[in-house]
Amino acid sequence: MQVMSLAVAGNIVFAGTTNAGVFMTNDDGATWTPVRTNFPKNWFVCGLLPVGDFLIAQLYGNGTLFRRSIPEILDEARKGE
């Protein structure tokens, strides 16, 4: 797995990877939480962009974009703690 893209929204850093999906950290990288990891194995996240309350990811493999609410991402991460 390699990091292909980074995005920052407030104190949250998102990392898009090859073959592993998107992860986030809000503790300076001490821990990383999966945001979305169920992309097909031959796709990778080549671009991340926070826009308002949303995170937009560009996927290499089929050119797809996905959009996810950052508050939803944070709620799910808190539930996993």
Determine the Cα–Cα distance for residues 29 and 61; give it in Å rounded to an integer.
27
pTM value is 0.79
Burial 33-64 (b: 16+ CB within 10 A, else e): bebeeebeeebbbeebeeeeeebebebbeeee
Task: Output the pLDDT for position 81.
Answer: 55
Task: Output the pLDDT for position 25.
Answer: 92
Helix ranges, 1-81 (H): 70-79
pLDDT in tens, the chain (81 residues): 889 889 998 889 999 888 888 899 988 889 999 888 777 777 788 888 889 999 888 888 777 788 889 888 888 888 865
Provide the residue ranges of all domains of the chain, joining segments of one domain with +: 3-79
Task: Output the pLDDT for position 10.
Answer: 87
Contact 24, 65 (CB under 8 A): no
Residue type, 2: Q
Polymer length of the chain: 81
